[in-house]
Chains A and B, each alone.
Chain A
Amino acid sequence: MPYNPIAPSQDERSNIYFIQWFGLAASIGMLIDYFAILPTGFNQILYTMTSAILLVTLFSKRFDEHFYTLRDEACRWATGFIALCMIVASIFKIADLSEHLGFWSVTGELNLSDKDSFLFILPPQLMMILACIIFFATIQIKSLRA
């Protein structure tokens, strides 16, 4: 095998599994911060930490194939959660649209530009935090089951 000067070390490959615990802890911290105000500066650390770990996990190519399998599974669950939220939101949107059409059939006036009518089942920030938790939790669950 040709010598690769920037090949990841054994520790580097194993550390990424350990780092995921920090990602999970930080994303749970973000959830706590969402409901209870944490001291100033603390939430910035949590958000920075979670995003940094996510970016390294998603885009670095210095891990092994087993970790990539776990990462793919985590992506599947996190994206699936977002899709589920979007499906629920779209159902509300259809219900909302039918209300507009009912109003139109009675009054003859159609007003579809009302942005407030779009109902999210979850606020976007909470949805983002929950997707992060699902991502890191899936990696840990799959990793611990192995």
Chain B
Amino acid sequence: MKNNLKVLRAMRDWSQAELAGHLDVSRQAINAIETGKYDPSLPLAFKIARLFEQNIEDIFDDEFAGATNEQK
């Protein structure tokens, strides 16, 4: 899943390790999320959203949103 976590992290001038510390996960997990190789769980996604004071959908790109709207 695409996301702008890297941009948000850069805006706060945090390293991956620092962000990992804020979210109670490993640096490797942050790297995997940023590169889109790993989709975080819902609790972690909420945690990220709370940390950056944004909505989840503003951080994570819902690639299936278009398809769902078309079905409607």
Given known contacts A10-B21, A146-B35, is B28 in contact with A63 (CB within 8 Å)?
no
A146 touches B28 (CB 8 A): yes
Total A-B pairs in contact (CB under 8 Å)? 48
Complex interface: stretch among A64-72, A77-85, A102-110, A129-137: A64-72
B37: chain A residues at CB < 8 Å are 145-146
A66 touches B17 (CB 8 A): no
Q: Does B49 contact A (CB under 8 A)?
A: no
B35: chain A residues at CB < 8 Å are 146
B41: chain A residues at CB < 8 Å are 65
A64 touches B26 (CB 8 A): yes
Residues in B lying within 8 Å of A, measured CB to CB: 17, 20-21, 24-29, 31-33, 35, 37-38, 40-41, 44
Identify 28 residue pairs between A and B in the complex whose beta-carbon atoms are under 8 Å apart, listed by A's number: A10-B20, A10-B21, A10-B26, A13-B20, A13-B24, A13-B25, A13-B26, A13-B29, A14-B17, A14-B26, A17-B26, A17-B28, A64-B24, A64-B25, A64-B29, A65-B29, A66-B26, A66-B28, A66-B33, A66-B38, A67-B26, A145-B37, A146-B28, A146-B31, A146-B32, A146-B35, A146-B37, A146-B38
